[in-house]
Chain A
Amino acid sequence: MIDRIEYQDYVTKTQPKSPMVRTLFAAFIVGGLICCIGEAIGDIIKVIFKEMSDKDVATWESCVMIFLGSFFTALGLYDKLGHYAGGGSIIPITGFANSVVSPAMEYNREGVFFGICAKMFVIAGPIIVFGVVASFLVGFIGYFVV
């Protein structure tokens, strides 16, 4: 018989360690690179459409990044990247696109209505709900403060 503390020690010693340094390094590199790609797309748009305002450039930039994220998810490449990079692929806006497209692809055999359209928001739903509620609260408070 071993007592509880001994058992806890045994468990922590033998459980697989999550490779902290490697995942942090991968997240840093991949996240930084995705942000750089976004910046590059913004710069290219600025060169092509010279008279576009900065706000429109930023909007276009995130739209293109969302498209790229969905596209590489559809090719199956983004999930492989996510396995390697973890947070580096989740936190950029491409990860949001991935969280919309990935369940839609996963459940498309359950039909268009309750497969694709409903399951699309399994992960993105909370983000949209929290975002909309937060933005309403900000506007509501801002209306009385300003």
Chain B
Amino acid sequence: MDIFLTYLKVFAVGGLVCLIGQILINKTQMSSARILVLYMLVGVVLEVTGAFEYMKQFAGSGVTIPIMGFGSNLAKGALEGVKEKGFMGAISGGMSAVAAGLTTAITCGFIFGLISRSRSKKI
């Protein structure tokens, strides 16, 4: 029962985050790049203000799987880097926190780009 409640929270919060994005898309006709940038910056702000930690405890993947998690990782990495290595950490911290995700995305993009051709857009 406990696990059911956890998944319900993840579903509700994750769905709500995407729903707000869809409202933005419907109302303002924003392109997907702008939506992603906006959400990532929201993640950075939430992490800096400390709100993201509470949201993560409440909803787990519901807030880390949306691109807000990417922004929060960047900000968190930068702040941790400052604590550990001083000014150099401010420069290197953010990227090293998201290095695994970026490497996966770029490698997958390269490999799948080589082996798979885009199908004609029949929807």
Chain A positions near chain B (C-beta within 8 angstroms): 18, 20, 23-24, 27-36, 38-40, 42, 58-59, 61-63, 65-67, 70-71, 73-76, 79-80, 83, 86-88, 90-93, 95-97, 99-102, 104-106, 108-109, 112, 116-117, 120, 123-124, 126-128, 130-132, 134-136, 138-140, 142-143, 146
- What 1/0 mask marks residues of chain B from 45 to 60 whose CB sits below 8 Å from any chain A CB? 0001000000000001
Q: Report chain B residues within 8 Å CB of A142.
A: 78-79, 82, 90
User: Which applies to chain A's interface (DSSP): helix, strand, loop or mixed?
Assistant: helix
Q: Which DSSP category, helix, strand, loop or mixed, fits chain B's interface?
A: helix
Q: Chain B residues near A36 (CB, 8 Å)?
A: 7, 10-11, 14, 61
B35 near A90 (CB under 8 angstroms)? yes
Contact yes or no, B21 A135, CB < 8 A: no
CB pair B18 A28 closer than 8 Å: yes
**Interface residues of B, Cβ cutoff 8 Å to A:** 6-7, 10-19, 21-26, 32-33, 35-37, 39-41, 44, 48, 60-62, 64-67, 69-71, 74-75, 77-79, 81-83, 86-87, 89-91, 93-95, 98, 100-102, 104-106, 108-110, 112-119, 121, 123
List 7 contacting pairs A-B, 8 Å CB cutoff, sorted by A: A39-B6, A92-B14, A93-B66, A97-B104, A134-B40, A138-B75, A146-B83
